[in-house]
């Protein structure tokens, strides 16, 4: 014993010393410039290596499809959803019994000697060897852990659904941003050359006026007024350039396209012929919009899932106050030759009860119930907020539509003035030409800017109501061409008819009413009013008190909202 102890100390002390020195050697290691440069070049290649080249002309559906396919923020949301899905898939294993395998080696410095005491005297015996190998395989199942694990799995399933709703919300915001950036980029593509040319002319004319002022060739007061007018026009043109020059960069960032100083020349968009901008129409009733938002808005769904999670947390708090009942069975092995049986089975039932859990149970249950009530109140508050968002989005769209119509009329007036001035035969000065061109550019820019705001408000309506432009499975599994086709079909579908009423009808399996039939313009054949009945004056409206009434003849058509009074 005395000789073995120093040997163990001599073995343990060097190991402990090496571990202590290793712990002391741990310190911060900042990245070097070479590492940062190498990482940056690698990331640049990674960003664009799987992105398909831009087409010659990019349409709005193609821009949205590229954003859905390649936008990095959207990919992060997709990965978060996949991670939540993997987590919920792993939870099912927590509900299974625990299977544990164990193997070990045991050695003693002295024999395990026991003394047997009885009436005749004592004796010693050794029940085990100094060295032995043991193995066991144990299967156990705790009912309390199973119950808590079940509710935890249900909570993680709801968290997976929350991740899906967060991805939907991110897609809605992404599409809205793409709409706005796309039309601003169209404005840049249309106006960049006129702005540059007019700016060059204005700067040259300003230099000429400055020379004339120095040489006293004209009245100084008139010359100063001309300088002032030119500077104001130059400022307007510079401001217009600043407004639209960032649009291609924003669009490239959204669709994950490589951009450089000549980005505007690389992204070519479809420009409407003769500046004919088609205004989106929205005829949905506000009550239908409210109902659809309550059904499809991602924020409302998210809060509903959070309320379910809070309810399950209350159930878990109640379960933790109960005793735990555990069943276990195992197969054992011991290499000890002094044992009569080296292999055997064991099984047991254990009842455990944590007394401190009982003492803290009222507070924990109260806390869980308070959290549940908080989640419920937050859900109700969000419903009110979404209700306000619906009305606000509708009002913003209508206001944007009025602004665009006003700016569009102003643009037409300016175009007509420019045409009339151009047809005049009298000579026009360079300054007059600059003023007229600047006015035309600003008017055209305001028109495109207002149209971009109108498209943004139109996208805000779809985002608030929870319209999905494509299913996530379509975005993940399909090629860019298929996504573009799906996006184009959805945009065309939204532009025709009443998308809100159509969405409600698709979610409601009940048959169409007569009012829905006429409002939605379905092609399904319906029963029509016979021509003889429609022209027969003996059938009269019950609302017209001046003539005889026969309400029984018209009751079947009340749902059509048709004016049924037949003139004499």
DSSP secondary structure, 116-152, as one string: EEETTEEEEE--S-SEEEEEEEEEEEEHHHHHHHHHH
Q: 484 is written with which tokens? A: 């573009």
439-482 per-position pLDDT tens digit: 888 988 999 999 999 999 999 999 999 998 887 777 776 788 88
319-333 per-position pLDDT tens digit: 888 888 888 888 888
Name the architecture of domain 57-101+130-488.
Answer: Up-down Bundle (1.20)
pLDDT for the residue 452: 93
Mean pLDDT of 263-279: 76
At residue 100, what are phi and psi to the nearest 5 degrees? -125, 125
498-509 per-position pLDDT tens digit: 888 888 887 775
How many CA atoms within 13 Å lie on the side-chain side of 495? 10
- In a 3-state reduction of DSSP, which class is residue 347? strand
Q: Above 50 in pLDDT, residue 552? A: no
Q: Above 80 in pLDDT, residue 388? A: yes
Q: Above 90 in pLDDT, residue 399? A: yes
120-136 per-position pLDDT tens digit: 555 665 666 777 888 88
pTM comes to 0.75
Distance between CA atoms of 100 and 319, rounded to whole angstroms? 25
pLDDT for the residue 218: 66
Distance between CA atoms of 501 and 516, rounded to whole angstroms? 9
Q: Which of 25-39, 53-67, 204-218, 363-377 has the highest mean pLDDT?
A: 53-67
Q: Give the residue, 471 or 412, on which the prediction is more confident.
A: 412
pLDDT for the residue 568: 39
Q: Give the residue, 527 or 402, on which the prediction is more confident.
A: 402
Distance between CA atoms of 390 and 393, rounded to whole angstroms? 5
pLDDT for the residue 24: 64
292-306 per-position pLDDT tens digit: 999 999 999 998 999
Q: Above 80 in pLDDT, residue 566? A: no
Confidence of residue 526 (pLDDT cuts 50, 70, 90): very low
CA distances from 478 to 50, 254, 475 (A): 14, 19, 6
Q: Above 70 in pLDDT, residue 116? A: no
Cα–chain center distance at 6: 66
Mean pLDDT of 416-426: 74
pLDDT for the residue 89: 72
Answer for the pair 38, 225: CB distance below 8 angstroms, yes or no.
no
Where on the phi/psi map is residue 274: left (φ > 0), alpha (ψ -120 to 50), or beta?
Answer: left
Q: Give the residue, 206 or 477, on which the prediction is more confident.
A: 206
Confidence of residue 547 (pLDDT cuts 50, 70, 90): very low
Domain-by-domain residue ranges, the chain? 57-101+130-488
């Amino acid at each position: 014993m005395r000789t073995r102890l120093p040997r163990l100390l001599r073995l343990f002390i060097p190991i402990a010393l090496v571990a202590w020195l290793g712990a002391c050697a741990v310190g911060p290691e900042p990245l070097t410039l070479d590492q940062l440069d190498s990482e940056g070049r690698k990331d640049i290649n990674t960003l664009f290596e799987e992105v398909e080249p831009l087409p010659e002309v990019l349409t709005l559906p193609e821009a949205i499809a590229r954003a859905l396919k390649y936008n990095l923020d959207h990919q992060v949301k997709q990965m978060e959803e996949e991670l939540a899905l993997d987590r919920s898939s792993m939870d099912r294993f927590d509900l299974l019994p625990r299977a544990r395998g164990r193997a070990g080696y045991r050695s003693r410095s002295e024999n395990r000697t026991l003394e047997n005491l009885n009436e005749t005297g004592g004796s010693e015996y050794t029940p085990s060897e100094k060295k032995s190998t043991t193995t066991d395989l144990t299967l156990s199942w705790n009912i309390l852990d199973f119950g808590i694990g079940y509710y935890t799995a249900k909570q993680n399933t709801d968290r997976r659904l929350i991740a899906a709703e967060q991805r939907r919300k991110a897609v809605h915001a992404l599409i809205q941003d793409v709409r706005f950036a796309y039309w601003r980029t169209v404005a840049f593509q249309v106006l960049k050359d006129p702005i540059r040319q007019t700016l060059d002319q204005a700067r040259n004319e300003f230099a000429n006026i400055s020379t004339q002022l120095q040489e006293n060739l004209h009245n100084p007061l008139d010359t100063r007024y001309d300088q002032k007018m030119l500077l104001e026009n130059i400022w307007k043109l510079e401001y217009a350039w600043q407004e639209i020059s960032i649009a291609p960069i924003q669009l490239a960032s959204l669709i994950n396209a490589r951009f450089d100083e000549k980005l505007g020349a690389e992204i070519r968009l479809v420009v409407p012929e003769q500046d004919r901008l088609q205004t989106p129409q929205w005829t949905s009733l506000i009550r239908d919009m409210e109902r659809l938002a309550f059904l499809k808005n991602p924020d409302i769904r998210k809060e509903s899932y959070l309320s379910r999670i809070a309810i399950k947390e209350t159930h878990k708090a109640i379960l933790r106050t109960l005793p735990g009942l555990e069943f276990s069975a195992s197969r054992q092995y011991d290499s000890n030759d002094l044992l009569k049986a080296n292999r055997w089975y064991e099984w047991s039932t254990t009842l455990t009860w944590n007394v401190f859990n009982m003492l803290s149970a009222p507070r924990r249950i109260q806390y869980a119930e308070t959290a549940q009530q908080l989640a419920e109140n937050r859900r109700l508050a969000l419903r009110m907020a979404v209700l306000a968002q619906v009305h606000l989005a509708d009002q913003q769209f209508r206001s944007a539509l009025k602004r665009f119509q006003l700016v569009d009329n102003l643009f037409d007036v300016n175009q007509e003035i420019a045409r009339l001035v151009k047809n005049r035969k009298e000579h026009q000065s360079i300054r007059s030409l600059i003023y007229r061109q600047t006015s035309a550019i600003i008017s055209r820019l305001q028109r495109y800017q207002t149209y971009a705001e109108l498209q943004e408000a139109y996208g805000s309506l779809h985002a608030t109501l929870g319209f999905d432009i494509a299913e996530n499975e379509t975005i993940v599994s399909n090629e860019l061409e298929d996504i573009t086709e799906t996006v184009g079909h959805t945009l065309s579908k939204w532009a025709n008819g009443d998308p809100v009423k159509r969405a409600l009808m698709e979610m409601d399996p009940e048959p169409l009413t007569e009012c829905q039939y006429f409002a939605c313009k379905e092609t399904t054949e319906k029963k029509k009013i016979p021509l003889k009945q429609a022209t027969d004056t003996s059938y009269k409206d019950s609302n017209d008190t001046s003539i005889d009434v026969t309400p029984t003849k018209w009751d079947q058509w009340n749902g059509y909202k048709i004016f049924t009074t037949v003139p004499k």
